[in-house]
Amino acid sequence: MKSKAFVKGAMLSGAAALLLGASLALSSAGVVSGANAAPADRQSQPLVTPTCNTKGYCLSKRNAGSGGAIMGKAGSGNGLYGLSTSGTGVYGTSASAFGVLGISSSSDGVSGVATGAGNGVSGNSATGNGLYGDSSSGDGVYAQSSYSNGVYGSSSSSDGVYGNSSSSDGVYGNSSSSDGVYGQSTYGTGVHGYSQNGYAGDFESNASTGSATVLYAQGDAASDYLFVTHNQANDKGSFIDGTGDGVFGGYVLAYGGFKTLVGSRDGRGLGGSVAITAQATMEDTGTGRLFNGEGAVRFDRAFASTIDPGRGYQVFLTPNGDTRGLYVAAKYEGGFIVRENEHGRSSVYFDYRIIAHPYGASDARLPQLSIKPPPIPHLPPRHP
């Protein structure tokens, strides 16, 4: 497997060049500026690798004007190459532009390899993108690390990591022991994904032993929303809040029906089924009292506000004692009257069940549903 971190295809107006912010530091052992091989007109001269022995930088350039500090240009090799055994191979910082910007027509704009405990590619910005990559055919940003983050981006006001690609992954990160992709932002988006024809975000898990989590969301504050969706076309969406409650802008459909986790006195978790009806209903139950053969039941105010009394309702009675039988003598918007058959004069308690139409719900019985699963676009093959 080839361990590389790529930031591809950033476009600038004017000549394509590699600009390393306001200050660029190349740390540690060997630094080669320009192509790997000597120019064609100097092939006969030996290639000299400069060395130094200092705690500072071997090469440091400061441009007080508006241009770049160092530019490296090569026809087929590396425009700028930095290697370090314990520090940063290439480090760039800028107050208003790109800390490191690489442009290439056929290879990597910027390539970084981390074999130790560092990041493959790391970017930090106060106002712009922590890390930005743009490519027409490859990965916008690709990074791989064995010990730390594959891609790390941090920004105070913009995207922590931003990647754009026409045919491959916008951002791809691979790590053996830490985060594949990590983005941090104070006010903006830590990691943002956008796609016109594919998935804005694609998550895949394959655990060789045990089990793995494909998608995990964590909120550090009780007021945090764990999951939020929004469709701009119809202005509908859904969310799951910090307490675990879910709200959906449309119906919840399940091919296998619905079950509720019910706790038992012996500590077991049991599955409770949900009743299925042909129409939408609003139900309530309770206990009333029959005195000298007559009783009245008034609806709870909250329940009464959720039903449509103009569509009628049904009442089912069960006496809790010996009677000649009970019947509903009258129905009102706020309740109903119960009497005993044959002018009986019994005084007993009775149970009742009310089934009404929910306010604002449709009267359709078993409406036909057109359920269309989301399209699954073709995705490029995964990296080895």
Please state the domain extents for the chain.
227-273, 282-356
- 89-96 long-range contacts, CB within 8 A, separation 24+: 89/26, 89/27, 89/113, 90/20, 90/24, 90/26, 91/24, 91/25, 91/26, 91/27, 92/20, 92/21, 92/23, 92/24, 92/25, 93/21, 93/22, 93/23, 93/24, 94/21, 94/22, 94/23, 95/22, 96/127
CATH 2.60.40 at 282-356, yes or no:
yes
Q: Which pLDDT belongs to residue 185?
A: 83
Cα–Cα distance, 187 to 185 (Å, whole number): 6
Q: Which pLDDT belongs to residue 383?
A: 53
Q: Which pLDDT belongs to residue 117?
A: 61
pLDDT, averaged in runs of 10, over the chain (384 residues): 38 32 35 41 51 73 73 65 64 62 58 63 63 65 71 78 75 80 83 80 79 87 90 90 88 84 93 90 97 97 95 97 97 97 97 96 89 70 56
Q: Which pLDDT belongs to residue 333?
A: 94
Tell how strand 162-165 and strand 132-135 pair up.
parallel
pTM over 0.95: no
Cα–Cα distance, 271 to 263 (Å, whole number): 9
